[in-house]
Amino acid sequence: MEISHPIDLPLDIHTVKGFLDPVEGEALYRLAAEASDLGPALEVGSYCGKSTVYLGSACKLMNNSLFAIDHHRGSEEHQPGEEYHDRELFDDRSQLMDSFRSFRATMRAAALEQNVVPVVAPSAVAARHWNTPLGLVFIDGGHSREAALTDYRSWSRHIVPGGYLAIHDIFPNPEDGGQAPYEIYQLALASGQFERVEMVKTLGILRRIQ
């Protein structure tokens, strides 16, 4: 994607917990910059803020806003006993995962608190009365089929024509990873409302055409 704006991050992105590849992050940065004249951006699944820094930094550059949707209780794979559980993010008082404190610290360190609007709620709850048209939606929430479908159905309808839908962790081969993100990617293409723009590693980028 040819964008003239240089990648300018306000902190060392490697210090932020998360699973986003830097090449995918740079693609998100450029996408958020390009979509900025269409409306605010929105991400589902902020975790500790790695993707938020990429998206939010581009929004700051373009004087735009990013809504960051996450209940901050962790996805299925973040729970105790699961593969990606992080003991540092477990709240002993509530006996629940809580990534929001880490997320807020990241936003403060990145000086993005004036451009990133955290929405601490499940995706479907945040979308219940949503009316703001969006230039970009990035989906990287729960990877169960139910969670991915909920995110797609909740937010894709708010993308304006010409706006973008980006979906993370797309693995066409089931041996490489879970299939839920790939399923909603295919669903978006089959809807006739989106066209393929490009694939950057596991990041699928679509454009709304109607």
- Region 109-132 average pLDDT: 98
Report d(CA 68, CA 181) in Å as an integer.
19
In the chain the domains, ranked by start, together with CATH numbers, are 13-208 (3.40.50.150)
Task: Quote the DSSP letter at residue 129.
Answer: T
pLDDT at residue number 1 = 44
Total-model pTM: 0.93
Confidence category of residue 5, pLDDT binned at 50, 70, 90: low
143 is catalytic: yes
pLDDT at residue number 2 = 46
- Tell whether the model's pLDDT for residue 98 goes beyond 60: yes
Backbone angles phi, psi at 174, to 5 degrees: -60, -25
pLDDT at residue number 6 = 61
pLDDT at residue number 74 = 77
DSSP assignment of 59-124 equals HHHTT--EEEE--SS--GGGSTTSTT--GGGEETTTTEE--HHHHHHHHHHTT-TTTEEEE-S-HH
Cβ-based neighbour number of residue 176 at 10 Å: 12
Helix (H) or strand (E) holding 35: helix 22-35
Catalytic: which of 85, 143, 158, 168? 143
Confidence category of residue 95, pLDDT binned at 50, 70, 90: confident
In this predicted model, what pLDDT tens digit does every residue of 141-186 receive, in sequence order? 988 999 999 999 999 999 999 999 999 999 999 999 899 999 999 9
The sign one gets for the Cα dihedral 184, 165, 155, 28 is: positive
- Both tokens of 126, joined, read 């945040």
